[in-house]
A and B are shown apart, each in its own frame.
Chain A
């Protein structure tokens, strides 16, 4: 006998929500893990790449050159592992926002510098900007979808 109660909307949207959240989580997690992993062996080069943006002083650039790649690795690792990941989403969004602001201002100022996004060789252009915008959108969307899928108890 057919139920007179309509099926809750949540149950229909759950699979798409869960898979969307998973795709964003694994995508952003892998990207940050690889980007950080490439740079952790070259902290001085990374510090130089940061200094070339001319946004921070030498001391801050050196600190960030050693520290940022490891933050990327840990954030990416936690997102991939999946446990206690709300803090990782927050940090991923902050990282993406900072990267986009740095690349955007460098592009606007016409700086002929290396991006420092994955390795030191790639210069800043429209592709770099687009990648950073996509990373920020991906982290925002991923956080939203992941929070919702956990709220309805599907993840």
Chain B
């Protein structure tokens, strides 16, 4: 009897929550494939795709690459010359960056894929701490780099 009323109360809350959630879904309808295909969408401000980076490199431009992935992923493979700067080991990574950083050279931050958020957080923190120079996110992350390099 007690368990019955418990489930009934919980069910009522779930039903009530479904009403505004449905209105919210109707007002801000998600676009089809918005999350599985984040790379294919418009490139957000502060991001660069591999094609643009490659074009700038072919014009003779150099970049400072920042790898914001985990240590295990970085040790497995990374962009040649990339500096490992994960959020959970900021001080050591930032010291490594300061040893090589040139404000005249643009900095590109990447994490695992378009679905990870670490590169945006690292880029945001670098913009605040460095205060100068271009800091952008590699659109599509490491996945985009490997696909482009094949």
Contacts and interface: CB of A to CB of B under 8 A. Distances in A.
Interface of A: 40, 43-44, 47-49, 51-52, 54, 58, 61-62, 65-67, 69-71, 73-75, 78, 84-88, 90-91, 110-114, 120-121, 123, 125
Given A43-B25, A112-B87, A123-B117, A91 B14 contact: yes
Interface in B1-51: 5-14, 16-18, 20-22, 24-25, 28, 30, 33-36, 38
Contacts of A123: 87-88, 117-118, 121
B70 interface: yes
B140 to A, nearest CB: 14
Given A67-B18, A112-B68, A121-B121, A88 B86 contact: no
How many residues of B sit at the interface, in one of the four size bands? Answer: 35 or more
Q: Would you call the interface of chain A mostly helix, strand, loop, or mixed?
A: helix
Given A123-B118, A123-B121, 15 more contacts: A40-B20, A43-B24, A43-B30, A44-B34, A48-B115, A66-B21, A70-B17, A70-B20, A70-B21, A90-B6, A110-B72, A112-B69, A112-B73, A112-B112, A114-B121
A114 B112 CA distance: 13
B116 interface: yes
Contact of B117 (A44, A58, A114): A114
